[in-house]
Structure formats: C-alpha cells, structure tokens
C-alpha cells in the first residue's frame, strides 16, 4: 500500500472545496481506488459512480489506454513552455479535437479547467469586438442560476447566489437573463420542456436597456448542470442564437459538462442544432484524469486576431500549463477511447432506458420533480422548512452508505454516470436511490 493510501491522522491541513469541512472531517468519506464504473471506499466497499466523478469521468475509471499514454508522455517530455514554444502533442490534440467540433469551429485555445475556459472565452469575446472596431462592446450577459466556474469573471456572469454573495464587488457591466426553471408548467418533463421559449426574449429587453452597441457576448450553459440540471425549453437556444445574430452579439456555450458525449453527441451544440460562436470545454476532455480545458472558437474570430504584423503577439493571455504535454497526451487518448468504444452513440442509445428508470421514482416520498436529457438527470426534493438542502444531503449520505455515489445541489439530486454504464447498472443506481428516498423524513 502506498504511504499515502491510509487516512492521515490529521485532516485539518486540507481546506476542502465546496465541502462542509467540519462535517466531513468528523466522519470522512474516503475513496482510495477506482476502476470502470466503481470507486473503492477506504473500508473496502464498491461504490457505484452515479456522477462520473464530478461530471468528468465519461469513459469510466482507470482506462488502460489513457493511463499508458500518460506514463509514456511523462517519460518522453514532462513539461514544455507554452509561450513562444510548442510541442507536437498540443497541436495533435487541437487537430483531433476540431474533427468533432461543430462546423466552422476550428481553432482551440488550451486552459487548465472549466473556470479558466470561461475566463478565456469572456476575454476573447471582448477583445474580438475591439479588434473588429466595436470597442464599446464590453458588457457581458449571463443567466440566473448559471454556473460558469469560480473565478471572478465566471461568478460575475454566473447566477448562483451562494457562489457570489461573499466576494464583494464582482465585474461591472454584467446583466443576467432569467433562468428557465418553470416547475409549475414543466414538472416531470422528459427531455426538453415545452414551456419557456419566451424567456429568451428577455435578452431583447436587456439589449434595449443597455443598447446592443455595448454588449460583447451572452454566455449560457446549454443544459445548466451544477444548479440542478435545468434543461432548455423547446426553441429557447434557437431564439438566443437568432437574437445574438441580429444584434451582433457573440453567443458562448459553456459546455464544460455537456461536452464529450453527455447528451449522446460530441457537444450539446450538435444535440440542439445550435452552433455558438465560442465553446468552453474541460472535464471530459481528459476524462477528468489531468486538469485541462479548451476554448473553441469560430474561424472568423481567430482570423480577426491574425490581421496584424506577423511578429507581434495577437492575444496577451495564457497559462503556464496551456497545452501541457501530459494533459495533451491524456486528452488524445481519451478522444480515442470515446471513438473506439463509440461512447457517444452508446449514451444516445441508453438515454431512453435512463429516462424511464429515473421517472419510475416519481411516486416516491418528497419527490416534486424529475427531469432528464441524454445521460443527465435530476430528482428534485421538497425542502424541509427552515432547513433547505438538509433532505437532499441526507440522501447523499445514505446513498454512499448503500454503495452509490450521487451528487446534490440544493435539494436536488443530480446524476451523470460514466457513459460506459449498462442498463443493469442504471437499474441498480435507481433502485439504490429509490430505497434512500423511501427512508427520508
């Protein structure tokens, strides 16, 4: 056993992210290994992964091809500078990635995370508007209940209250569209809900308030994941695209969660048939194994930056680890696994079974909504008065005790299993959740 496999005697040094540190450290839940669809807990139990780690392990755990690619790359080239220097793997990855991106999106800027991808996309959008003679376009439009990472730009355009309220002044010049969650009209929808297209028209109100000449970009998640799986109403994304086109505003899709097969297609842009100007990606790009993100832009955006003298830097932005060799090797291997195992098609073919299994829980206690699309699902629970989030967190703890990993956000159980899941494992996961729901108070 590795020196670091056992639980340390002192857990205080690590300040854990998005975690009730005091609760966790009083009764820690440790994962010590993983393979395929399961984690192994520190006490030796198999834990069925119902969340693909954190929306990222789309190809399942401990995939030999990815592990071998990482090992070989470390031995060959561990690090290379990204500024004014290159290495073959970063270019090979970019070329492989644009093979599956939507039409006319053929240029990639590498980052280290979804948060950095969002920051990069926002900066590129504002800089692009300046480059084309629209320097007054600096305003950014996000959406209520949107999640775009945890850097200042991301939480500014994001719309989750708890992510924003403790950090004082955020970016100025930001406005927000209303969210699309309409439980009175769309509860227990299967796939895209029918009601809510008109909410996209609020963009026109914001445009009239600030004037189109001040707005650089609109950023939305095609499917809002971390806020509880909010699925766009029929026609909603198409309407946003049309308004952005009409007013000269860039449309950014944050596909950190929906990218790489989560909806049964390479990107949500393919699933919905709506092509944005910029896509933010991360998570499934490397199967979650090594931090890496990507910003994919339309040809016209990249070309606009390439109009100056050849010996000048076109974009004063980047990261020490942009296109890191080991991360690039992991990503190339990950894309090959997706292709060789036909995992995007597999997710598409499993979606119907996933849908029916989830909705079989509709009659369980405290369930007030179930929604799904692709291999994403959400079970919304009635909150306990004066104790919001407590019921769902109790479900999370009970599920772990029963051998299933789920995720909760507010009083919503969010699910996104690895794309290698089979029908029997879907049934096992749903049965586990059903047992948990029957025990809740």
In whole angstroms, what is the distance from residue 292 CA to residue 331 CA?
A: 8
Contact at 8 Å (CB) between 421 and 430? no
Range(s) of the domain holding residue 334:
67-340
Looking at the structure, tell me whether residues 196 and 215 fall in a common domain: yes
Q: Which of 192, 190, 187 is nearest to 222 (CA)?
A: 192
pLDDT at 7 over 80: no
The pLDDT of residue 233 is: 98
CATH of the domain at 53: 3.90.1150.10
pLDDT at 2 over 60: no
Q: Binning pLDDT at 50, 70 and 90, where does residue 9 land? A: confident
Contact at 8 Å (CB) between 106 and 184? no
Structure tokens at 86: 């290159």
Q: Binning pLDDT at 50, 70 and 90, where does residue 1 land? A: very low
In whole angstroms, what is the distance from residue 375 CA to residue 295 CA?
A: 23
Looking at the structure, tell me whether residues 428 and 316 fall in a common domain: no
Looking at the structure, tell me whether residues 35 and 74 fall in a common domain: no
Average pLDDT score over residue span 321-348? 98
The pLDDT of residue 328 is: 98
Looking at the structure, tell me whether residues 229 and 325 fall in a common domain: yes
Region of residue 30 (left: phi > 0; alpha: psi -120 to 50; beta: else) = beta
Looking at the structure, tell me whether residues 181 and 198 fall in a common domain: yes
In whole angstroms, what is the distance from residue 16 CA to residue 19 CA?
A: 6
In whole angstroms, what is the distance from residue 413 CA to residue 437 CA?
A: 11
Handedness of CA 28, 34, 48, 354 (dihedral sign): positive
Please check whether residue 13 lies inside any domain of the structure: no
In whole angstroms, what is the distance from residue 45 CA to residue 47 CA?
A: 6
pLDDT one-digit tens code per residue, 188-219: 999 999 999 999 999 999 999 999 999 999 99
- State the burial class of residue 6 (Cβ atoms within 10 Å of its Cβ: 0-12, 13-18, 19+): exposed
Beta partners for 405? 49
Calculated CA dihedral for residues 129, 131, 133, 137, nearest 10 degrees: 20
Looking at the structure, tell me whether residues 311 and 331 fall in a common domain: yes
Q: Which of 275, 276, 154, 167 is nearest to 226 (CA)?
A: 154
Looking at the structure, tell me whether residues 40 and 148 fall in a common domain: no
Please check whether residue 40 lies inside any domain of the structure: yes
Average pLDDT score over residue span 104-120? 98
Q: Binning pLDDT at 50, 70 and 90, where does residue 187 land? A: very high
- Chosen domain end from 283, 310, 340: 340
Looking at the structure, tell me whether residues 180 and 321 fall in a common domain: yes
Please check whether residue 410 lies inside any domain of the structure: yes
Please check whether residue 8 lies inside any domain of the structure: no
pLDDT one-digit tens code per residue, 336-358: 999 999 999 999 999 999 999 99
Average pLDDT score over residue span 264-285? 98
CATH of the domain at 283: 3.40.640.10
pLDDT at 423 over 70: yes
What mean pLDDT value characterizes the chain? 96
- Chosen domain end from 308, 340, 372: 340
Contact at 8 Å (CB) between 280 and 91? no
- Chosen domain end from 302, 322, 340: 340
In whole angstroms, what is the distance from residue 220 CA to residue 204 CA?
A: 16
Q: Which residues contact 133 (CB under 8 A, 6 or more apart)?
A: none
Of 220-224, 262-266, 306-310, 395-399, give the lowest mean pLDDT range: 306-310
3-state secondary structure 307-354: CCCCCCCCCCCCCCCCCCHHHHHHHHHHHHHHHHCCHHHHHHHHHHHH
Q: Could you please report the per-residue DSSP string of 246-310?
A: HHT-EEEEE-TTTTTTTTSSSSHHHHHT---SEEEE-GGGTTTSS--EEEEE-HHHHHHHTTS-T
Please check whether residue 208 lies inside any domain of the structure: yes
Q: Which residues contact 66 (CB under 8 A, 6 or more apart)?
A: 59, 286, 287, 289, 330, 333, 334, 337
Looking at the structure, tell me whether residues 363 and 240 fall in a common domain: no
Average pLDDT score over residue span 99-105? 97
Looking at the structure, tell me whether residues 323 and 367 fall in a common domain: no
Please check whether residue 7 lies inside any domain of the structure: no
CB burial string 303-341: b at 16+ within 10 A, e below: ebbeeeeeeeeeeeeebebbbbbbbbbbbbbbbbbbeeb
Looking at the structure, tell me whether residues 91 and 53 fall in a common domain: no
pLDDT at 116 over 60: yes
Q: How far is CA 284 from CA 5, 48, 110, 129, in A?
A: 26, 19, 14, 30
Please check whether residue 145 lies inside any domain of the structure: yes
Looking at the structure, tell me whether residues 248 and 165 fall in a common domain: yes
Number of domains present in the structure of the chain:
2
pLDDT one-digit tens code per residue, 13-24: 999 999 999 999
Q: Binning pLDDT at 50, 70 and 90, where does residue 8 land? A: confident
Query: Which helix (H) or strand (E) segment is 139 a member of?
Result: strand 139-143
In whole angstroms, what is the distance from residue 226 CA to residue 160 CA?
A: 9
The pLDDT of residue 5 is: 60
pLDDT at 89 over 90: yes
Q: Binning pLDDT at 50, 70 and 90, where does residue 3 land? A: very low
- pTM of this prediction? 0.97
What's the N-to-C CA distance of the chain in angstroms?
40
Q: Binning pLDDT at 50, 70 and 90, where does residue 275 land? A: very high
Please check whether residue 96 lies inside any domain of the structure: yes
Q: What percent of the chain has pLDDT over 70?
A: 99
The residue written with tokens 């730009």 in the block is 153
């Amino acid at each position: 056993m590795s020196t670091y496999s056992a639980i340390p005697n002192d857990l205080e040094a690590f300040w854990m992210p998005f975690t009730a540190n005091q609760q966790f450290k009083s009764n820690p839940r440790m994962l010590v290994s993983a393979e395929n669809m399961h984690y192994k807990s520190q006490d030796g139990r198999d834990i069925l992964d119902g969340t693909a780690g954190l929306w990222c392990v789309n190809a399942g755990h401990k995939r030999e091809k990815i592990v071998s690619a990482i090992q070989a790359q470390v031995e060959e080239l561990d690090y290379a500078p990204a500024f004014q220097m290159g290495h073959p793997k970063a270019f090979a990855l970019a070329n492989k990635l644009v093979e599956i991106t939507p039409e006319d999106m053929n240029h990639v800027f590498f980052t280290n995370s979804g948060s950095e991808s969002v920051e990069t996309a926002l900066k590129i959008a504002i800089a692009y508007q300046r480059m084309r003679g629209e320097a007054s376009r600096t305003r950014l439009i996000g959406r209520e209940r949107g999640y775009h990472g945890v850097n200042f730009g991301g939480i500014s355009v994001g719309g989750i209250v708890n992510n924003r309220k403790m950090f004082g002044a955020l970016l100025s010049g930001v406005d927000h569209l209303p969210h699309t969650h309409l439980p009175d009209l769309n509860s227990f929808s299967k796939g895209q809900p029918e009601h809510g297209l008109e909410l996209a028209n609020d963009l026109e109100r914001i445009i009239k308030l600030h004037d189109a000449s001040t707005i650089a970009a609109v950023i939305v998640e095609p499917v809002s994941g971390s806020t509880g799986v909010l699925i766009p109403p029929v026609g909603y994304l198409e309407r946003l695209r049309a308004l952005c086109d009409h007013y000269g505003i860039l449309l950014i899709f944050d596909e950190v969660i929906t990218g790489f097969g989560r909806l049964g297609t390479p990107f949500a842009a393919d699933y919905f048939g709506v092509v944005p100007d910029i896509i933010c990606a991360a998570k499934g790009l490397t199967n979650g194994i090594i931090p890496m993100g990507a910003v994919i832009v339309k040809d016209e955006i990249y070309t606009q930056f390439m109009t100056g003298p050849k010996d000048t830097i076109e974009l004063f932005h980047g990261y020490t680890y942009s296109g890191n060799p080991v991360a690039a090797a992991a990503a190339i291997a990950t894309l090959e696994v997706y292709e060789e195992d036909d995992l995007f098609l597999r997710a598409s073919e499993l979606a119907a079974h996933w849908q029916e299994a989830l909705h079989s829980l509709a009659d369980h206690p405290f369930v007030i909504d179930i929604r799904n699309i692709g291999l994403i699902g959400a079970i919304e629970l009635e909150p306990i008065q004066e104790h919001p989030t407590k019921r769902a967190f109790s479900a999370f703890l009970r599920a772990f005790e029963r051998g299933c990993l789920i995720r909760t956000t507010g009083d919503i159980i969010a699910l996104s299993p690895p794309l290698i899941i089979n029908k029997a494992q879907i049934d096992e996961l749903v049965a586990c959740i059903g047992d948990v729901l029957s025990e809740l108070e």
